[in-house]
Amino acid sequence: MAAAIDKTVSIKTLPGFLAKERIIAHPGFNRWLVPPAALAVHLCIGMAYGFSVFWLPLSKAVGIKEAAVCGAEIGFLQELTVTHCDWKISTLGWMYTLFFVFLGSSAALWGGWLEHVGPRKAAVVSACCWCGGMLFSALGIYHHQFWMMLLGSGVIGGIGLGLGYISPVSTLIKWFPDRRGMATGMAIMGFGGGAMIGSPLAAQLIKYFSTDSDVGVMPTFIVMASIYFLFMMAGALGYRIPAADWQPANWSPPDSLKINRMITKNHVNVKNVFKIKQFWLLWMVLCMNVSAGIGIIGMSSPMLQEVFGGQLVGIAKPYADLDKEQLAAIATVAAGFTALLSLFNIGGRFLWASFSDKLGRKMTYIVFFFLGGLLYVSIPESANTGNKLLFVGAFCLILSMYGGGFSTVPAYLADLFGTQMVGAIHGRLLTAWATAGILGPVIVNYMREYQLQLGIPRAQVYNQTMLILAGMLMVGLLCNLLIRPVADKWFMTESELAAEKRIAHETVFEGGAETNVLIKATHPITVLLAWLAVLLPLAWGIYKTLLSASQFFA
């Protein structure tokens, strides 16, 4: 009887399957299993960048062949529930806006919770929100209710984006204290590459499911949600966290006072981060870098077409003088340009973050802002002289630094504020992304409209905009130069740090039953299979993107 009672008590005291205590890695665990788990999550939620592939077919969901245009009396509020006419593409774009508003807000609200419960539980919740939101949106398509799509993918899916985006950050930084930038670059590279896989996959599924009475988006949502759920759950279950005070073999933390005063060994509590000037300076650094980049991403295709016009296909005519067939031809070339930019975006996320481990985070951002400012200033001249090579080259480098800014900032935060709560602090910082997602496009779009109203030729309407974006980068440069090491008063004391570690369920692995795993080395084949599971889909996405980019060079 006593044995039975003891057994019952031990079962009740075992942590839950998703609990942080259950994912403490055993000795011999290979840390290179964690990046593919993070990639599995980020490659799925990164499809948020590719949702525009659904806009055109959804704008014909009622009319099928041609859009059933709503009357002038149907405003935005009426479009939320109207069933007899089609949604406008501008209305559908609100889903894209909500993605990044809720990504930033959910990451800020629940970043502290993530640090306490661990990356596995956060990634599972992310999978349920992102994939469940897609399924709810599919139901909205079936009933032709746009409010259901906004709630499903925009709000619920946006929350999933935020939790999924920050879920591996703190874990990867703790697994790779010797390569912080490279580690976060590997994961955040996946967010940039998600659309490279999802967009062509969605296009093929829509083509397969479309009929004379259905545009094929609803079943596409269902299939993609199912695939994403499997991948995201596999990634979530693959997460492991290192034991407290773990460090790589044959590596010891450098003396920050001798090597780099910007890298601290102490830790800031997330509840105090809004009071620290370095946080707000870095907030401005990210906001300015993202605003400048995101402002041109959405306008890259029309910008190239309006600036070079018929030159893109060997015709000496401005954009306004082209006929329908010629416009279609240059649109194909511009699509290749957009694909080329996406390759530099994803490549920059990994390469610039990896370089930051050598250059230092502050110097890396100095390069971003100084070089980026020069490139923006050079664009009007290359446009006026018709130099396509310089024009395209400038944008490719700008987009690489745009992506690099995202992947470098988590390591910058860890350097300044410590690693204990870096995931939660990163979540708070992502409100800068949500702000930039509104600021950047507004500047580019409204400046373009203003220039056109003044009668300025289409080939020149972006000249003033480029100078404004260069000015924004100079603001970011100034903020970055003002960043100094965080004052000692903001760091947690030893007792406060110990209390935080108890709340976060951090323990030192002692080989007992606590982690419920065997003590054995990870087999190399396991690591290889994990990487193949994420690299093969990514390689397919890169291949499809290269095919599209080849149109630009044809």
Q: List alpha helices for 250-387, DSSP H.
A: 256-259, 277-297, 300-308, 324-359, 361-384
Q: What 3-state DSSP class applies to 181? A: helix
Q: How far apart are CA 214 and CA 217, in angstroms?
A: 8
**283 and 342 inside one domain:** yes
Q: Say which DSSP state 512 is in.
A: S
Give me the pLDDT at residue 443, please: 80
Number of domains in the chain: 2
Spatial distance between the Cα atoms of 522 and 31, rounded to a whole number of angstroms: 9
Same domain, residue pair 429 and 536: no
Q: Which of 439, 465, 486 is the last residue in one of the domains? A: 486
Tens of pLDDT, residue by residue, the chain (554 residues):
444 434 433 334 445 788 888 898 888 899 999 999 999 999 999 999 888 889 888 988 998 888 888 888 888 888 899 898 999 887 888 888 888 889 989 999 999 999 899 999 999 999 999 999 999 999 999 999 999 999 999 999 999 999 999 999 889 999 999 899 999 898 889 998 898 899 899 989 999 999 989 999 999 999 999 999 999 999 999 999 998 778 888 877 766 444 567 888 899 999 999 999 999 999 999 999 998 888 777 677 777 887 888 888 788 888 778 887 888 888 778 878 888 888 999 999 999 999 999 999 999 999 999 999 999 999 888 888 888 888 889 999 999 999 999 999 999 999 999 999 999 999 999 999 888 878 887 787 777 777 778 888 776 777 888 888 999 999 999 999 999 999 999 999 999 988 888 887 776 554 433 444 445 678 899 999 999 999 999 999 999 888 888 877 76
Q: What is the per-residue pLDDT for 159? A: 96
- Range of 181's domain? 16-49+93-139+149-247+492-549
| Separation in Å, CA 135 to CA 20, 156, 219, 229, 296 | 29, 11, 9, 11, 31
Written as one letter, the residue type at 194 is: G
Q: Do both 355 and 454 map to the same domain?
A: yes
**Pair of tokens at residue 490:** 């903001």
Mention every residue, 6+ apart, whose C-beta is less than 8 A from residue 497: 267, 420
Map 366-428 to HEC letters.
Answer: HHHHHHHHHHHHHHHHHHHCCCHHHHHHHHHHHHHHHHHHHHHHHHHHHHHHCCCCHHHHHHH
Decide if 374 is inside a domain: yes
Note the helical H segments in 32-118. Answer: 34-45, 55-58, 76-79, 89-117
Residue 303 and residue 230 share a domain: no
Query: At which of 443, 469, 486 does a domain end?
Result: 486
Same domain, yes or no, for 161 and 266? Answer: no
Task: Answer whether residue 4 is part of any domain.
Answer: no
Q: What is the CATH number of the domain that holds 438?
A: 1.20.1250.20
DSSP annotation of 489 reads G
Q: What CATH number does the domain containing 203 carry?
A: 1.20.1250
User: Is residue 54 domain-resident?
Assistant: no
Domain assignment of residue 84, yes or no? no
Residue 55 belongs to some domain of the structure? no
- Label residues 200-211 b or e (16+ Cβ within 10 Å = b): bbbbebbeebbe
**241 and 337: one domain?**
no
Together in a domain, 333 and 374: yes
Asked if residue 519 and residue 433 are part of one domain, the reply reads: no
Domain boundary among 440, 465, 486: 486
CB atoms within 10 A of CB 54: 23
C-alpha 516/C-alpha 20 separation (Å) is 12
In a shared domain, residues 160 and 26: yes
